[in-house]
Amino acid sequence: MDLYQKFDHDIFDVTKILIGLSLTDGQKAELSKIAGEIDAAYSSGQLTAHERSRLLGTIKDCGMEPLPIKKNECPRNLPKRKTRGHDR
């Protein structure tokens, strides 16, 4: 079983029993843990961007809100604004 299938299986195991139409706090915690593992695998090159996107999309489809981006993990550096000689 490759890593993508392992994560997909883990997501299925956590969400196969839903009480009502929403996730329990325990399921949300487990899915957050899995999402962190998915991001770590992507960062280390074990998952492609497409695989990561599909797995996180599956988690979102289960009713989990997307995880916030941490400040130190910002994907891009914003350029400094020039003031054109004016002090603001």
- Least confident range from 21-25, 28-32, 55-59, 70-74: namely 70-74
Task: Please indicate, yes or no, if residue 82 is contained in any of the structural domains.
Answer: no
Task: Please indicate, yes or no, if residue 14 is contained in any of the structural domains.
Answer: yes
Contacts of 51 (CB under 8 A, 6+ apart): 4, 42
Task: Please indicate, yes or no, if residue 12 is contained in any of the structural domains.
Answer: yes
Better-scored residue on pLDDT, 84 or 39: 39
pTM over cut 0.75: no
Task: Please indicate, yes or no, if residue 83 is contained in any of the structural domains.
Answer: no
**How many domains are contained in the chain?**
1
Per-residue pLDDT of 54-81, as tens digits, reads 999 998 888 777 655 444 444 444 455 5
Task: Please indicate, yes or no, if residue 80 is contained in any of the structural domains.
Answer: no
| Per-residue pLDDT at 85 | 61
**Separation of CA 77 from chain center:** 20
The boundaries of the domain holding residue 24 are 3-66
- Least confident range from 4-13, 22-31, 59-68, 69-78: namely 69-78
Task: Please indicate, yes or no, if residue 38 is contained in any of the structural domains.
Answer: yes
Task: Please indicate, yes or no, if residue 77 is contained in any of the structural domains.
Answer: no
Contacts of 66 (CB under 8 A, 6+ apart): 56, 60
Task: Please indicate, yes or no, if residue 76 is contained in any of the structural domains.
Answer: no
Burial of 26 (0-12, 13-18, 19+ CB in 10 A): exposed
